[in-house]
Amino acid sequence: MESWTPRDYQARLGAFYMQNAAYTKEIATRVERFGPLAQVFSTYEIRKAPEAEAAQRGIHGIQLFFDGQRWWILSVALAGESESQPIPAQYLK
């Protein structure tokens, strides 16, 4: 597992996305909340063109904290789908 800052992400992938289209769409969301904490599982798919077949799917895991006025993003992690790790049904609803 790697940890990237937003600047790391831009440095590593910015040039690629300037040359290659990527259309990301959220296809399901699951939110679990306890008090000021929330965990969001955002299932996504990526296409090379708006009407193309999905080239990749995965889940973003997002941790949030509510300070009484706004939500703060604490972390974002992602896991891509593979043959050995398909997305479970509960994250596709």
For 20-38, what is each residue's pLDDT tens digit? 888 999 999 999 999 999 9
Is residue 75 situated within a structural domain? yes
Is residue 29 situated within a structural domain? yes
pLDDT at position 1 is: 67
Is residue 17 situated within a structural domain? no
Look at the pTM and tell me if it is higher than 0.75.
Answer: yes
Domain count, the chain: 1
Is residue 34 situated within a structural domain? yes
Q: Which domain holds residue 33?
A: 23-91
Is residue 87 situated within a structural domain? yes
Is residue 4 situated within a structural domain? no
Residue type, 43: T
Is residue 47 situated within a structural domain? yes
Listed in order, strand segments (DSSP E) in the chain are 23-34, 37-47, 56-66, 71-80
Tens of pLDDT, residue by residue over 35-83, are 999 999 999 999 999 999 999 999 999 999 999 999 999 999 999 999 9
Is residue 62 situated within a structural domain? yes
